[in-house]
Amino acid sequence: MAKFDWTKVAGYQDGMSDSEKLQLLNGFEIPDEVDMKGYIKKEQFDKLSSDYAALKKEQRDKMSEAEKADADRNAELEQMRTQLAEYKREKTMSDHKANLLAQGYSEERAAKAAAALVDGDTATLFAVMAEQKVETEKGALANGLRTTPTPPPGGTPATKEQQEEAEWRAAFGLPPK
C-alpha cells in the first residue's frame, strides 16, 4: 500500500492532531494522474534532437557545392510557393470582400463571409448570409415605411393612379402633391 504524503496537502503543519488532519483531508482533492503514454522523456527528446542536428550538419558537410546550391534553391522555391499561395488566398478574399461590399454587406460582415468562402466554411457563410438577409429586410421595411405616402385627409382612399404618382414622386425626391 502506498504511503500518503502529508506535505502535499495545502495547509498541513507539523504537529497537527488527527482531527485537524481529517479536516484537511475533507477539502483535499487528489489530482488526476497524467497519462504519459505516447510521449517520450525530455532527456530522450533532447538527445534525439541533437543527434538529428548532428546528422543533418554531417550530411550538409558531405554535400558538394552544387548539391548545397540545389538544396538552397529548393528551400527558396518552397518558400516562394508558400508565399504565392498566401498571396492568392489574400487576393481571392479581397475580391470576394469587394463583391460583398458592393452588395451592401457591412465591412465586418463582408470580411467574415469572404474568409468563409475562401476557407470553404459553408456554415459560417450561411450564418453571415442570414444576418445580412435580416438586416436587408429591416432596411427595406424602414424604407417602405418612410416612402409610403400618407393618405389624403378626409378619409377618402387614394386611387391607384394617385398612389402610383405619390410613389413616383417619392422615388425622385419630389414633394407630395
Tens digits of per-residue pLDDT, 11-43?
777 888 888 877 877 776 766 777 777 788 889
Taking residues 109-121, what's their average pLDDT? 93
Query: pLDDT averaged over the chain?
Result: 84
The angle that helices 122-147 and 160-171 make with each other, rounded to 10 degrees, is 110
For residue 135, pLDDT beyond 80: yes
Q: Give the contacts of 6 (CB within 8 A, at least 6 positions apart).
A: 12, 21
Least confident of 30-34, 47-51, 159-163: 30-34
Instruction: Say how many C-beta atoms besides its own lie within 10 A of residue 9's C-beta.
Output: 14
Exposure pattern of 10-22 as b/e (b: 16+ CB <10 Å)?
eeeeeeeeeeeee
Confirm whether pTM is higher than 0.95: no
The mean pLDDT value for 76-101 works out to: 95
State percent of the chain over pLDDT 90. Answer: 40
Q: What is the pLDDT of residue 155?
A: 63
Provide the pLDDT for residue 115. 93
Question: Residue 111: CA atoms inside 13 Å, Cβ hemisphere, count?
Answer: 2
Comparing 127 with 171, the larger pLDDT belongs to: 127
pLDDT higher than 90, residue 152 = no
Q: How far apart are CA 43 and CA 40, in angstroms?
A: 8
